[in-house]
Amino acid sequence: MIIMSVDYGDSRTGIAVCDRLQKFAHPVEVIKESYEPKLISRIGEIAKERDVGLIVVGLPKNMDSSEGERAGKCRSFAAEIEKETGIKTDVIDERLTTVSAANYLNITDTRGKKRKDIIDAVSAVIILQDYLDSRR
């Protein structure tokens, strides 16, 4: 089964998928859309194109493991994706994924506009790889 991850953001949302063996995650795209119905529609299109069986949405917990307003918004977003696409969704703690993504981009010396354009996809890869690793 192919799993897709979503790093949900207000203006940009990163998407990643894994291979059929669920070993490796790789970036797909960054959706630049703030209007939720259009964003969910695009997520559904990608999921259909790639024959996705599960969608994982990053859940931004606080450092003390509590859930704030943004986490609630992500839970609602995941439920809406499941309702609209018919594909089961799950959430996974995504604390510090953006920091990790920034560190990876520092190592590759990715700067400026290119960095801004891909950091959400890199975060989605980290979310998905963490999810895959947690299932083993």
The tokens describing 98, both together, are 């953006």
Can you give the residue range of the structural domain that contains 96? 2-135
Alpha-carbon 128 to chain mean position: 7
Q: What pTM was computed for the model?
A: 0.86
Q: Which residues of 88-99 are buried (b: 16+ CB within 10 A; e: fewer)?
A: ebebbbbeebbe
14-27 per-position pLDDT tens digit: 999 999 999 999 99
pLDDT digits (tens, 9 = 90+) for 59-117: 987 777 777 788 899 999 999 999 999 999 999 987 656 656 555 555 655 566 555 56
Q: 67 Cβ partners below 8 Å, 6+ apart?
A: 59, 61, 75
Count up the domains in the chain and report the number.
1
130 pLDDT tier (thresholds 50, 70, 90): confident
Length reported for the chain: 136
Query: How high is the pLDDT of residue 1?
Result: 95
CB-CB contact of 58 with 91 (8 Å):
yes
Q: Kindly report the CATH number assigned to the domain that includes residue 17.
A: 3.30.420.140
Evaluate whether 58 touches 123 at the Cβ level (below 8 Å). yes
CA atoms 40, 17, 120, 114: torsion sign: negative
